Amino acid sequence: MRRRELLIGLGAAAAAPANAGAQTSPWRVGFLHPGQSGAVATRIGRFEEGLRPSNRGDPIILKGVADDRVEELPRLAATVVGAGAQVICAVSPPAVWAAINATHEIPIVAVDLESDPVANLWARSLGQPDGNLTGVFLDLPDFTAKCLQLLREVIPGMSRLAILWHPASGSIQLEVARKAASTWGLTVDTYEASRIAELDPAFRAAASKGADGILMLSAPMISGNPKILADLALVHRLPAIDQFPDFTEKGGLLAYGPDLQELFRQAGTMARKLLLGVPIANLPIDRPARFKLTVNLKTANTLGLNLPPTLLARADEVIE
């Protein structure tokens, strides 16, 4: 599928008429993302896989990419709505908030791995969403604690934990991580990072303070930069765990979580159903169906870690 993209906010939204009601016109799909354009391209590609097949021609993707300036999302959401989006994919809690505030009519498909849609009053229930929102959410209270448990298996003598946190992602993960760390008697230092430029200072500070390992909480800015994070973890000799396999593929130590690219394909499938006329009330909010544990053995050797055989036996993939 050849993609037609309009870069929202750069004056390109007026390049083509909406024609939303014409049966033969291509779908106009909004894509709101807080991260950088480089990380968004692959995700849009997988999202489009879910949109196929279509007899409407190539979809027009109305891109509202904030380039790590989360404060721009409300403006971008309003522009996407004004450009005639028929459905909007909103990635991350700030993007979902922006989309909900911009429209109560256009269906929204969220890809939000950091918040609870019911607690946020975005949906009445997971099985029967009301309003104009559905999507893929990862709100599993034990999930963050599981990631920390895996990191402790690798570092059995851990006493000091660093947590990397993007404040815009909300506090649910952070609260769960702190509670689990307290249960295990760990000292916790939290490092906030809202921009890529803030990642190196965070790792540097964690290393200088004597962190035994670092738990990286889910956020688009973090999941979108696996190579940078893997390199920083090695430079500062910090065993680290992320939630997506891309991290270990780029040289990170541990990852446990869903296949992020598959979640975007899943969201695209939901968007396609909405565009074909399925009522949003008939599309329950979905959850990732499978979680994957990946381990980079080469990185473990570089850090001088002897990984437990039981951990290696449970891993879905061991990179050597």
Average pLDDT rounded to a whole number, residues 132-160: 90
Helix (H) or strand (E) holding 214: strand 213-216
Range of the domain at 59: 4-138+260-282
C-alpha–C-alpha distance, residues 308 and 297, integer Å: 11
Average pLDDT rounded to a whole number, residues 141-152: 89
Which pLDDT value is given to residue 12? 39
| Band of pLDDT at residue 141, cut at 50, 70 and 90 | low
Write the DSSP symbol of residue 20: T
Which of 183, 186, 219 has its CA nearest to residue 202? 219
Both tokens of 175, joined, read 């609260």
Least confident span in 67-71, 230-234, 267-271:
67-71
pLDDT tens digits, residue range 189-211? 999 999 999 999 999 999 999 99
Average pLDDT rounded to a whole number, residues 223-241: 96
Does residue 252 surpass a pLDDT of 60?
yes
Both tokens of 12, joined, read 């390109």
| Whether residue 225 is found in the same domain as residue 266 | no
| Whether residue 267 is found in the same domain as residue 233 | no
Does residue 83 surpass a pLDDT of 90?
yes
Average pLDDT rounded to a whole number, residues 111-140: 88
| Whether residue 127 is found in the same domain as residue 146 | no
Which pLDDT value is given to residue 19? 41
| Whether residue 307 is found in the same domain as residue 272 | no
Mean model confidence pLDDT for the chain: 90
Q: Longest Cα pair distance anywhere in the chain, in angstroms?
A: 64
Bridge partners of 174, per DSSP, are none
Neighbours of 232 (CB within 10 A): 22
| Whether residue 97 is found in the same domain as residue 164 | no
Does residue 9 surpass a pLDDT of 80?
no
Residues 6+ apart with CB under 8 A from 291: 256, 257, 258
| Whether residue 72 is found in the same domain as residue 194 | no
Which pLDDT value is given to residue 14? 37
Average pLDDT rounded to a whole number, residues 241-250: 94
Which pLDDT value is given to residue 260? 86
Domain count, the chain: 2
C-beta of residue 103 within 8 angstroms of C-beta of residue 132: yes
| Whether residue 184 is found in the same domain as residue 311 | yes
| Whether residue 265 is found in the same domain as residue 121 | yes
| Whether residue 274 is found in the same domain as residue 234 | no
Average pLDDT rounded to a whole number, residues 86-112: 97
| Whether residue 198 is found in the same domain as residue 213 | yes
| Band of pLDDT at residue 299, cut at 50, 70 and 90 | very high
| Whether residue 76 is found in the same domain as residue 205 | no
Least confident span in 35-39, 60-64, 71-75:
35-39
C-alpha–C-alpha distance, residues 47 and 206, integer Å: 36
What CATH number does the domain containing 249 carry? 3.40.50.2300
Average pLDDT rounded to a whole number, residues 25-39: 90
Average pLDDT rounded to a whole number, residues 147-172: 94
Which pLDDT value is given to residue 128? 85
Query: What is the 3-state composition of the chain as percent helix, strand, coil, each rounded to the nearest 5?
Result: 40, 20, 40
Which of 31, 95, 21, 27 has its CA nearest to residue 63? 31
Average pLDDT rounded to a whole number, residues 43-62: 87
Which pLDDT value is given to residue 7? 57
| Whether residue 132 is found in the same domain as residue 271 | yes
C-alpha–C-alpha distance, residues 235 and 214, integer Å: 13
pTM: 0.84
